[in-house]
Amino acid sequence: MSATIIDGKQLAQKKGEMIKTALERLKTQGITPGLAVMLVGEDPASETYVRNKQRACERMGIHSRLIRLPTTATEQHLLDHVVQLNEDPHIDGILVQLPLPVHISTETVIRAISPEKDVDCFHPLNVGKMILGETGFLPCTPHGILVMLKEIGVTLSGKHVVVVGRSHIVGKPVGQLLLNEDATVTYCHSRTENLSSFTKQADILIVAVGRANLITEADVKEGAIVIDVGMNRVNNKLVGDVEFASVRDKAAFLTPVPGGVGPMTITMLLENTVYAATKARAVMA
C-alpha cells in the first residue's frame, strides 16, 4: 500500500478562500478584524511562525500588530501589554507566541488574556468550553487536524484514535476534540510502556512529541491514518515524528512534514480571529 499524502498547504488554501469570503462580508459592514501577536525574545523558529502569521493576515486583509519584547522583559511588562490589548477596540484576537522565556509564567500570561480575544484557545475558560463541546474558539493545530480528517471523509465515530503526546497545545486538546466526535481515544506519552503495542492498535495515529522519526512502519497498523505533528530539525532539514518513507508503505493516509499539519495551524488562527471579530462586534460574517 502507498499512502495518500494529505496536502495541508492545499487544504489551508481552500479554507483560506472561505475565510476571505467571510472577511469581505465583514468589510461591507466596515469591519476589519485585528490580531495582536506578542513575541518575547529571539527564538528563530518563533520568529518564522510570527512572520508567517503576519503575512497571512496581510494577504487576507486582517489588521495585525506585532508587539516585540526582549528576552529580558519581565512578566509584568508582558501583562501590562495584555491588559492594554484586552481593552483595545481595534484588536479582536490576542496571542502570545510560545514558548516564553523560563522566567515568565505561561499560565499567568494566558489567564490574563480576555477569553473573548483568546484566538489560540489556551485560556482555561475556552479549554473548558471546548471539552464540554460548547460553541466557541477551537485550538488551532487540533482544529486543523480535525478539518484534515473530515476532508478525507473518514468516519470518526467509533474509530480508535491513539494520540502520542500530551502537550497543552496539541496532544491533550486534539484527543478531546476527537472524543467529542465519538472516537475512542487513547493517550500515550513519554512514560508509556511498550508504546508500539498502543500505536499498532490505532485506526488514526496522531504523533506530537518532537522526536524525529520516533514512529516507524513497525509501529503502525496496515491501512491506518497517520497524522504527524512533529517538527524537528535534523541536519538542517525539517522532519516529523514519523519516519515518512517507511510509514508511507503501510498507512492509508499520511501527512507530510513540512506541508501537512503546520500550514493548517495558521489558517485556523485566521478563522478564530474572524470569529472573534464577528462575536465582539455582533455582526454576521
Ligand X SMILES: Nc1nc2c(c(=O)[nH]1)N[C@@H](CN(C=O)c1ccc(C(=O)N[C@@H](CCC(=O)O)C(=O)O)cc1)CN2
240 appears as a binding residue in the annotation: no
- Choose one: 89-97, 142-150, 241-249, 273-281; the region binding ligand X (CB under 6 A): 89-97
- Catalytic residue numbers, as ranges: 53, 97, 120
Q: Which helix (H) or strand (E) holds 184?
A: strand 184-188
Quickly tell me which residue has 496539541 as its cell: 170
User: 186 has which bridge partners?
Assistant: 162
Contacts of 132 (CB under 8 A, 6+ apart): none
**CA nearest to 122, candidates 134, 135, 105, 140:** 140
All three cell numbers of 10? 492545499
Residue 21: strand, helix, or coil? helix
Q: Determine how β-strand 237-239 pairs with β-strand 232-234.
A: antiparallel
Of positions 5, 108, 258, 279, contacts ligand X by CB under 6 A? 258
238 binds ligand X (CB under 6 A): yes
Helix axes 171-179, 124-132, angle to 10 degrees: 30
Cβ proximity to ligand X: between 47 and 88 the closer is: 47
Minimum CB distance to ligand X, residue 23 (Å): 20
145 binds ligand X (CB under 6 A): no
All three cell numbers of 36? 495582536
262 binds ligand X (CB under 6 A): yes
- Choose one: 78-86, 188-196, 210-218, 253-261; the region binding ligand X (CB under 6 A): 253-261
177 binds ligand X (CB under 6 A): no
262 appears as a binding residue in the annotation: no
CB contact at 8 A, 14 and 7: no
Minimum CB distance to ligand X, residue 261 (Å): 6
Contacts of 258 (CB under 8 A, 6+ apart): 231, 238
Cβ proximity to ligand X: between 191 and 237 the closer is: 237
263 binds ligand X (CB under 6 A): yes
Cβ proximity to ligand X: between 31 and 138 the closer is: 138
- Rounded distance between C-alpha atoms, residue 116 and residue 114, angstroms: 5
What residues from 123 to 142 belong to the interface with ligand X (CB under 6 A)? Answer: 140-141
User: CB count, 10 Å around CB of 152?
Assistant: 12
64 appears as a binding residue in the annotation: no
Which residue lies nearest ligand X, judged by its C-beta?
Answer: 262
Amino acid in the structure at residue 86: N
Minimum CB distance to ligand X, residue 57 (Å): 13
49 binds ligand X (CB under 6 A): yes
Of positions 10, 48, 71, 190, contacts ligand X by CB under 6 A? 48
CB contact at 8 A, 164 and 158: no
Minimum CB distance to ligand X, residue 144 (Å): 9
Which spans of this chain sit near ligand X (rule: CB under 6 A)? 48-49, 95-98, 120, 140-141, 169, 231, 238, 257-259, 262-263, 265-266
Binding residues for NADP(+): 165-167
